[in-house]
Structure 1
């Protein structure tokens, strides 16, 4: 009876949280302080948590845009560079057969970022251009994930993530500074992205051992931290208040 109950639990744990050696260490040897296994479980747990969080991390931003029917304060160029970085990371991880827990949030972030890019165009009065952006992006993504794209191109894209992330965030930061407010930028989305990128530094080191991936998330955390700091600095500054003051 106990065995039949434990089998599904064991399968679940081995599939999502730990290798068999760690299962044996915890449940057969009762060694709950095994540091390497604790690191693995922490990394897996964080990875799954980040993926679950990424399903909704940018939804507050999407809803804020739709509610205001305005994309004021958001930079489309920054969105394009962010998509470049997300797509490069996703293609790089898939090509290297990294576990889904190491990169799964990129898929959900990509879908939400594409939606934000479309809304920026739509509320900017260029709906047709927005539709063209969607079509062109997904065609490019299909090509990137296909066997037609050489590994050297994918590796180059991943290496280019760092400047793309830096430039993209600096463009958004410059837009915020120029406007004197963060416009329709969602504070919830900004802080969740910052927290997620910090956690990804640990999980990328633990699960992939890829220094390029880890460095990308270090840079991403610094840039997301800059935007988060601006959100706090301009907390009481809204477009309406700024226009009224002028």
Structure 2
């Protein structure tokens, strides 16, 4: 009776959190300190936590742009490079059949980054260019995910993520430095991205064993820390205050 009652729970655990061996260790042998299984479960929980967080990680940035009706302080070039990196990770993961928990946040980050890119163009008076940007992007992604695209292409994209991430963050950092403030950059989004990229280093190694993926997140964490440091440094600086001082 107890076994049949646990069966639905067992199926959920086996599908999303752990292999059968770990389920048996935890719930049949009551061995809750088995390190390899603990790593698997921790990685899965972190992965799904990152995905859940990614659903709203950039929404503060989107809302800040809409509320201010301004994209001051945001680099469209940095957004394009970030989108390239996110798309590369997503396409590479799908092509290699990695579990969704290992890359799922890329899907939600992609959608939110697209929205930010469009809003930057819109608030700079280039709404038509923003719409064209969306159309071109979705056509490109459709091609990337289609069977006609060789695996070598998406692997090259993933390898190119590191310079793309570095340049995108340097573009944003340079704009922050020149402006003397972070403009409409959302501190909440910046810190959440930094925390997420740190956690992804562990989950990438644990769930995919792919050193290229892990190295990408190491680079991303380092670059995100630079922007996070600038947010803290320019915390009390605003565009209005900067203009007043000048």
Partner residue of 1:102?
102
Partner residue of 2:55?
55
How far apart are residue 4 of structure 1 and its match?
Answer: 3.0
Indicate yes or no: 2:44 matched with 1:31. no
How far apart are residue 148 of structure 1 and its match?
Answer: 1.1
C-alpha distance in structure 2 between counterparts of 1:59 and 1:70, whole Å = 15
Partner residue of 1:138?
138
Partner residue of 1:148?
148
C-alpha distance in structure 2 between counterparts of 1:187 and 1:178, whole Å = 18
Partner residue of 2:14?
14
C-alpha distance in structure 2 between counterparts of 1:33 and 1:126, whole Å = 57
Stretches of structure 1 that go unaligned for 5 or more consecutive residues are none
Matches within 5 A, 1:169-184: 169-184=169-184
Indicate yes or no: 2:114 matched with 1:114. yes
Which has the higher mean CA deviation after the structures are superposed, 35-44 or 1-10? 1-10
Moved over 3 A (4+): none
User: TM-score, with normalisation over the residues of structure 2?
Assistant: 0.99
Partner residue of 2:199?
199
Partner residue of 1:221?
221
C-alpha distance in structure 1 between counterparts of 2:109 and 2:187, whole Å = 16
C-alpha distance in structure 2 between counterparts of 1:34 and 1:222, whole Å = 32
SS in 1 for 2:21: helix
User: TM-score, with normalisation over the residues of structure 1?
Assistant: 0.99
C-alpha distance in structure 1 between counterparts of 2:156 and 2:190, whole Å = 27
Matches within 5 A, 1:82-93: 82-93=82-93
How far apart are residue 110 of structure 1 and its match?
Answer: 0.1
The CA RMSD over aligned residues, in Å, is 0.5
Stretches of structure 2 that go unaligned for 5 or more consecutive residues are none
How far apart are residue 3 of structure 1 and its match?
Answer: 2.5
